[in-house]
């Protein structure tokens, strides 16, 4: 990875995007989202490392891997958003622009989803914009490089 790379991390159950609760998360698959993000990144002069894991420790390893020397880090930690102090701590060591993404509006859902352990260690949040929120996050990272 280099200074034009955006690391896009996806947490648990996002591998089921498009089939799990489509009334909340939509019908696009994670592969569809990745293709759209790659196109947006390429148009902005960025390359993407797009990854998904259902395992907290793997996500932490990836956050640590991307903590410096890249254009930015985009993370949809899914359920770990609301539970993971460890992801919070890993993100606090990241020196590149960090964006938290949520497909649904976590503040309009069940009360336990209202709190994010990531918000205070990310630089920008995109919440409730559907899968288009990923592209918005990538374009925000691109704007940080220009500004």
The yes-or-no verdict on residue 119 having pLDDT over 90 is yes
- Percent above pLDDT 70 for the chain: 98
Kindly report, residue by residue over 58-96, the tens digit of the pLDDT: 999 999 999 999 999 999 999 999 999 999 999 999 999
How far apart are alpha carbons 17 and 94 in whole angstroms? 27
Close Cβ partners of 23 (under 8 Å, ≥ 6 residues apart): none
> How far from the centroid of its chain's Cα atoms is residue 138's Cα?
9
**107 confidence band (pLDDT: 50, 70, 90):** confident
List the domain range (segments joined by +) for residue 85: 5-146
Q: At residue 113, does pLDDT exceed 80?
A: no
Give the pLDDT confidence score for residue 108 in this predicted structure. 73
Whether the pLDDT of residue 112 is over 70: the answer is: no
Quick check: 115 pLDDT over 70? yes
The tally of domains found in the chain comes to 1
Q: How many residues are recorded in the chain?
A: 147
Tell me the whole-structure pTM to 2 decimals. Answer: 0.94
Catalytic entry in 55, 80, 82, 102: 102
Q: Residue 27: what pLDDT? A: 82
Clarify whether 25 is annotated catalytic.
yes
Q: Which of 25, 80, 117, 134 is the catalytic position?
A: 25
Q: How far apart are CA 98 and CA 76, in angstroms?
A: 11
Residue from 117, 116, 98 nearest 106 by CA: 116
Residue 143 banded pLDDT, cuts 50, 70, 90: very high
Is residue 102 part of the annotated active site? The answer reads yes
- As beta bridge partners, residue 52 has 10
The domain spanning residue 16 has which CATH number?
3.40.50.9100
The percentage of the chain sitting over the pLDDT mark of 90, rounded to a whole number, equals 82
pLDDT of residue 26: 74
């Amino acid at each position: 990875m280099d200074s034009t790379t955006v690391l896009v991390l996806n947490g648990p159950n996002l591998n089921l995007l498009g089939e799990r609760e489509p009334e909340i998360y939509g019908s696009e698959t994670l592969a569809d989202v990745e293709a759209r993000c790659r196109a947006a990144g390429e148009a902005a002069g960025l390359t993407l490392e797009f990854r998904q894991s259902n395992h907290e420790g793997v996500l932490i390893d990836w956050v640590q891997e991307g903590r410096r020397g890249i254009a930015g880090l985009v993370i949809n930690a899914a359920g770990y958003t609301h539970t993971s102090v460890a992801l919070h701590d890993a993100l606090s060591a990241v020196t590149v622009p960090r964006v938290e993404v949520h497909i649904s509006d976590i503040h309009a859902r069940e009360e336990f989803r209202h709190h994010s352990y990531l918000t205070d260690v990310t630089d920008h949040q995109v919440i409730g914009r559907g899968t288009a929120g990923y592209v918005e996050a990538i374009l925000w990272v691109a704007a940080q490089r220009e500004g």
